[in-house]
């Protein structure tokens, strides 16, 4: 199976405090990869390395290599803007812009200079359909996105990411602010999306990782303890610490 | 015993709070009582739109001053608002922490300079500059606009800075994560999202410009005539009161109070507009 992202020997420091230690990892194409581990284990930090969102944090230093389709994303010639159009992101808290539903989905394209109404209409509809939101909003695309429910807002954020046709979609605990029904919808959606996209999801819920992911990586205190197919990691973990965590002995 | 004490204390605080309100009421009533009879005597239309202000002949038309106020204020807004917005965006989005702290306190100082000092500086610097390089008497709408533009900077900068800082960080991250540049993020997401706060800041700044008196008296030339260009002198509603109050009596004094009514109504409209915009959000 081909890998899209290849992380090797990655170390990350905030000021001079090391937050990630020697991470090596391959993320496979059209798979859902889940990052699990207790709070503060570095799973979100690693996720944010993959589209260079950590660039926003002052005094964050990164060593090692991350390759997207074989090209180093931390290369100084790498265009961060184009990287982020290829690696989309959905955040923990739904964060639609205070604009209309339509403009939220069209936003990324408009930033690329695409303003042709025909193209935008098409992409907006296609993205909302893929995010399983079209039927609920097709008659009110001009409405402010902040008036949608939390679950709808999160699916809108997924639609907004999809509109850019990324290769990878990063999701940082996308359901932790949602109720069980909205969560189930998003999980179902993730299953549908992996046919076209590679998905990396950080989750607090081991059940969620078990339900939706193909591969799972377990992190502890900035280290990648174990990565394996989800089935294997939950049924037959190699490492004692993984076993302790998934059986609920800590965390 | 204790409960009674608390009750009395509460009453005392309520009374003190009420007294500030009553000051506003008293001043407003007083101005209206003094000014309304003259407006009735002259006629609302002739008062507001009369072209001639000659108290010695019993002519009380304040139209040139309304135009004076509007043009000086508009000029101040045209110069001051863009500068203030650039500064607040710089402070919230680009400035390193230390520069931000330094600039913020410096801007606060700007608000603390007495307006007479602004006027004095304008009179010795801006007025001769305009006279020498642009022509006219120097004492002019342009000079007044420049001084007021500087004076309203702190108000607009600090309020719009607050409304930009109050935006959830997730807007910015969400936009950048979609491949928007920093500028696109500022221009397409942050500013529209902070729009109501920024509008309120601008309106409050304009309110400050309308009400300013001392600095304007010193640089505006104070001629009571319709100005033809921004290099002409003019008189505003505030300066009219400020200049003539010392020696006015009878109808003349009442006419100044009536000028005050017009001013008060203008400021009230602006302030309620600002509050409405903020609440609408």
* Complete DSSP assignment for B33-77: HHHHHHHHHH-HHHHHH---EEGGGTEE--HHHHHHHHHHHHHHH
* pLDDT single digits (tens) A49-58: 999 999 888 8
Give me the pLDDT at residue B6, please: 87
pLDDT confidence of A1, banded at 50, 70, 90?
low
Give me the pLDDT at residue B281, please: 58
In whole angstroms, give the CA distance from residue B230 to residue B72.
Answer: 9
> Averaged over B17-33, what is the pLDDT?
93
**For residue A51, what is the nearest residue in chain B, using CA coordinates?**
B177
- Decide: A106 and A163 in contact? Cβ < 8 Å: yes
**B250, two tokens:** 């009878």
Q: How far is A11 from chain B (nearest CA, A)?
A: 22
For residue A56, the chain B residues in CB contact (below 8 A) are 173, 176
- Decide: A42 and A202 in contact? Cβ < 8 Å: no
* pLDDT single digits (tens) B86-140: 999 999 999 998 999 999 999 999 999 999 999 999 999 999 999 999 988 999 9
> Which distant-in-sequence residues (6+ apart) come within 8 Å of B88 by Cβ?
B156, B157, B158, B160, B161, B164
**What's the helix, strand, coil split of chain B in %, to 5?**
80, 0, 20
- Tell me the three state secondary structure of residue A30: coil
> Which distant-in-sequence residues (6+ apart) come within 8 Å of A185 by Cβ?
A132, A151, A155
Whether the pLDDT of residue A249 is over 80: the answer is: no
> Averaged over B138-151, what is the pLDDT?
95
- Decide: A2 and A28 in contact? Cβ < 8 Å: yes
Give me the pLDDT at residue A156, please: 97
Whether the pLDDT of residue B275 is over 90: the answer is: no
pLDDT confidence of A251, banded at 50, 70, 90?
low
* pLDDT single digits (tens) A154-196: 999 999 999 999 999 999 999 998 999 999 999 999 999 999 9
Give me the pLDDT at residue B277, please: 85
**For residue A81, what is the nearest residue in chain B, using CA coordinates?**
B179
Interface test with A, best of B100, B178, B185, B280 (most A CBs within 10 A): B178
**B264, two tokens:** 């008060």
Ordered by where they begin, the domains of chain A are 3-97+169-176+189-246 (3.40.50.300)
Whether the pLDDT of residue B1 is over 70: the answer is: no
Mean pLDDT estimate for chain A: 94
> Averaged over A92-102, what is the pLDDT?
95
> Which distant-in-sequence residues (6+ apart) come within 8 Å of B64 by Cβ?
B51, B53, B224, B225, B226, B227, B234, B235
Give me the pLDDT at residue B100, please: 92
- Decide: B255 and B55 in contact? Cβ < 8 Å: yes
ipTM associated with this complex: 0.92
In whole angstroms, give the CA distance from residue B267 to residue B281.
Answer: 22
Residue A218, phi-psi category: left (phi > 0), alpha (psi -120 to 50), beta (remainder): beta
> Averaged over B168-192, what is the pLDDT?
95
Longest dimension (CA), chain B: 76
- Decide: B230 and B71 in contact? Cβ < 8 Å: yes
Cβ distance of A164 and B179 shorter than 8 Å: yes
> Averaged over B240-244, what is the pLDDT?
94
**DSSP 8-state class, residue A227:** E
**For residue A159, what is the nearest residue in chain B, using CA coordinates?**
B178
Half-sphere exposure of A207 (CA within 13 A, CB side): 5
Cβ distance of A97 and B174 shorter than 8 Å: yes
Mean pLDDT estimate for chain B: 93
The residue with tokens 């589209």 is A51
Whether the pLDDT of residue A211 is over 70: the answer is: yes
> Averaged over B141-147, what is the pLDDT?
96
Q: How far lies B207's CA from each of A246, B76, B217, B268, in Å?
A: 63, 11, 17, 9
Helix (H) or strand (E) holding A128: helix A117-130
Cβ distance of A53 and B170 shorter than 8 Å: no
For residue B187, the chain A residues in CB contact (below 8 A) are none
In whole angstroms, give the CA distance from residue A216 to residue A204.
Answer: 12
pLDDT confidence of B274, banded at 50, 70, 90?
confident
In whole angstroms, give the CA distance from residue A199 to residue A167.
Answer: 9
In whole angstroms, give the CA distance from residue B23 to residue B266.
Answer: 19
Give me the percent of chain B exceeding a pLDDT of 90: 88
pLDDT confidence of B171, banded at 50, 70, 90?
very high
> Averaged over B224-244, what is the pLDDT?
93
Which of A40, A35, A178, A145 minimizes the C-alpha distance to B193?
A145
In whole angstroms, give the CA distance from residue B73 to residue B237.
Answer: 11
Which of A54, A46, A94 minimizes the C-alpha distance to A202?
A46
pLDDT confidence of B3, banded at 50, 70, 90?
confident
- Decide: A210 and A234 in contact? Cβ < 8 Å: yes
**DSSP 8-state class, residue A54:** G
Cβ distance of A91 and B174 shorter than 8 Å: yes
Interface test with A, best of B168, B177, B192 (most A CBs within 10 A): B177
Number of H helices, E strands in chain A: 10, 10
Give me the pLDDT at residue B232, please: 94
> Averaged over A4-9, what is the pLDDT?
95
């Amino acid at each position: 199976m081909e890998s899209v992202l290849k992380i090797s020997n990655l170390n990350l420091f905030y000021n001079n405090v090391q937050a990630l230690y020697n991470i090596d990892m391959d993320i496979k194409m059209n798979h859902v990869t889940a990052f699990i581990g207790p709070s503060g284990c570095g799973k979100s930090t690693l996720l944010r390395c993959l589209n260079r969102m950590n660039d926003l944090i002052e005094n964050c230093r990164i060593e090692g290599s991350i390759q997207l389709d074989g090209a180093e994303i931390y290369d100084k010639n790498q265009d961060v803007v184009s990287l982020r159009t290829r690696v989309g992101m959905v955040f923990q808290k739904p964060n639609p812009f205070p604009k209309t539903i339509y403009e939220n989905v069209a936003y990324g394209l408009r930033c690329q200079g695409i303003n042709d109404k025909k193209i935008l209409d098409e992409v907006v509809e296609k993205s909302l359909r893929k995010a399983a939101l079209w039927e609920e909003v097709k008659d009110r695309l001009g409405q402010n996105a902040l008036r949608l429910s939390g679950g709808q807002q999160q699916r809108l954020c997924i639609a907004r990411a999809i509109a850019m046709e990324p290769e990878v979609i990063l999701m940082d605990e996308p359901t932790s602010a949602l109720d069980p029904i909205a969560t189930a919808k998003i999980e179902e959606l993730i299953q549908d999306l992996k046919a076209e996209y590679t998905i990396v999801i950080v989750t607090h819920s081991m059940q969620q990782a078990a339900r939706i992911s193909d591969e799972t990586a377990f992190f502890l205190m900035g280290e990648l303890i174990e990565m394996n197919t989800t089935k294997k990691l939950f049924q037959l973990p190699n490492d004692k610490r993984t076993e302790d965590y998934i059986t609920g002995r800590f965390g | 015993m204790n409960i009674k004490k608390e009750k009395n204390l509460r009453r005392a605080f309520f009374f003190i709070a009420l007294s500030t309100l009553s000051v506003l009421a008293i001043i407003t009533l007083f101005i209206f009582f003094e000014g309304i009879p003259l407006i009735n005597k002259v006629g609302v239309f002739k008062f507001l739109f009369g072209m001639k202000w000659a108290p010695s002949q019993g002519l009380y038309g304040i139209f040139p001053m309304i135009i004076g106020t509007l043009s000086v204020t508009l000029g101040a807004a045209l110069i001051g608002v863009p500068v203030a917005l650039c500064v607040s965006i710089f402070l919230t989005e680009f400035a390193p922490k230390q520069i931000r702290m330094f600039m913020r306190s410096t801007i606060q100082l700007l608000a603390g300079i007495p307006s007479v000092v602004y006027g004095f500086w304008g009179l010795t610097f801006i007025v001769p500059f305009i006279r020498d390089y642009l022509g006219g008497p120097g004492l002019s709408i342009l000079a007044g606009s420049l001084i007021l533009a500087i004076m309203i900077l702190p108000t607009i900068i600090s309020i719009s800075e607050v409304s930009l800082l109050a935006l959830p960080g997730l807007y910015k991250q969400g936009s950048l994560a979609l491949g928007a540049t920093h500028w696109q993020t500022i221009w397409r997401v942050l500013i529209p999202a902070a729009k109501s706060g920024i509008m309120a800041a601008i309106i409050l700044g304009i309110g400050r410009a309308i009400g300013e008196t001392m600095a304007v008296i010193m640089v505006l030339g104070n001629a009571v005539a319709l100005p033809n260009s921004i290099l002409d002198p003019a008189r505003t509603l505030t300066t009219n009161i400020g200049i003539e109050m010392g020696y006015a009596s009878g109808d003349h004094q009442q006419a100044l109070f009536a000028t005050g009514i017009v001013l008060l109504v203008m400021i009230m409209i602006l302030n309620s507009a600002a509050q409405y915009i903020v609440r609408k959000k």
